[in-house]
Structure 1
Amino acid sequence: MDEQKILNAFSEGFDCSQVVLSSVSAELGIDDVTAKKISACFGGGMFCGSTCGAITGALMAIGLKYGHSMPNTPDIKNENIAKLMEFKGKFLEKYDSVICKEILGYDISVPEDMEKIMEKQLLTTFCPKLVADVISTLKEVI
């Protein structure tokens, strides 16, 4: 998904987590509406600057594809963890953290910081590039 499509999704009110999970929803066997609803609470690091929403969207996708759902299935669980770690490692080759407020340099939940984020247009310049990177990395892993 290119940065312009991501920016369009943002302008429609969707968050980074929703864009990431919905970008792979068809290949994971879930519809776009379900993907967007599942990931709706994770943008902006759960709207408190915690783990980046794009990351949580990717981890949801990895869990949907590789996650264990039956008891006593350590091999499946270990494969899921290996995919999670592979994704995280690739992401951290490009970015210094998986934490939204550390990546942006500002905490989205602090009004003064949000003013700076808007002033610097990070949500329309930096974040679409990051989301595109996350989607690309996710597709390499899954």
Structure 2
Amino acid sequence: MGEEGQKEGISRREMLKCSFCAGVALAAGGSLTEAAAAVDTKATSRNRPEAAKAHFIKSMSCSQAILETYAPVFGMKADHAAKLATGFAGGMGMGHECGAVTAAYMVLGLANGPKEKKVFPKLEAFNKAFKARHRELGCSQLLGVDMGTKAGMREASRKGLIKNRCPEYVKTAGELLEKMLA
């Protein structure tokens, strides 16, 4: 299986690790979905931005997609990251700062905190780079509708804005994090 497994993109060792994780999850009364989520948290720096984007597409939570992807790198369990990030999606549910951006702030804090002198320059650099790509940081501004209102949320849904634009914002946050964490 050596070379063939490598051509397929997964080594024998990775296959065994996935099988083991699935077996442990099932034995503990969990599901294969939980096992897959556990394996997903092992994403490498090369594919974490794409993993975060894929997570967003499944969950539609920008903040959870970023924090669940990156927090395990710093020893935080993905389920704890999901709970922590819940209130930050959709600009904290009010159309304010994009959830992918605020989750990236949390990741930068995990990597550089608790010293503000070390964290704040990283946040400033992140903001500058994100704005260079997307011109804005706020959810409502990025989507062009007031995400702080039910009417704005309906309009965003009707126009497919969240489904079509937000995955790229999540991916951008991941790409910028990769550069800043390297």
2:71 to 17, 25, 29: 25
Aligned to 1:128: 167
Structure 1 runs not aligned, ≥5 long: 69-75
Q: Confirm or deny: 8 A CA contact 1:6 1:132 kept in the other structure.
A: no
Give the TM-score of the pair, scaled to structure 1: 0.86
Structure-2 separation of matches of 1:8 and 1:44 = 15
**One-letter code aligned to 1:28:** F
Partner of 1:97: 136
- Alignment partner of 1:87 out of 115, 122, 126: 126
Identity %: 27
Number of the residue aligned with 2:149? 110
Q: Answer with 1 or 2: which has the greater Rg.
A: 2
Aligned residues: 131
Q: Deviations over 1:90-121 (max 9, x none)?
A: 11110111111111111222122122101110
TM-score (norm 2): 0.68
Any idea what the Cα deviations from partners look like across 1:29-84, whole Å, max 9, x if unmatched? 1010011111110001010011111110000111111112xxxxxxx321111111
Q: State the partner residue of 1:9.
A: 59
Distance in 1 (alpha carbons) for counterparts of 2:139 and 2:89: 9
Structure with greater helix percent: 2
Between the aligned partners of 2:92 and 2:125, the Cα distance in structure 1 is: 23
* Runs of 4+ residues deviating >6 angstroms: none
Displacement of 1:5: 4.1
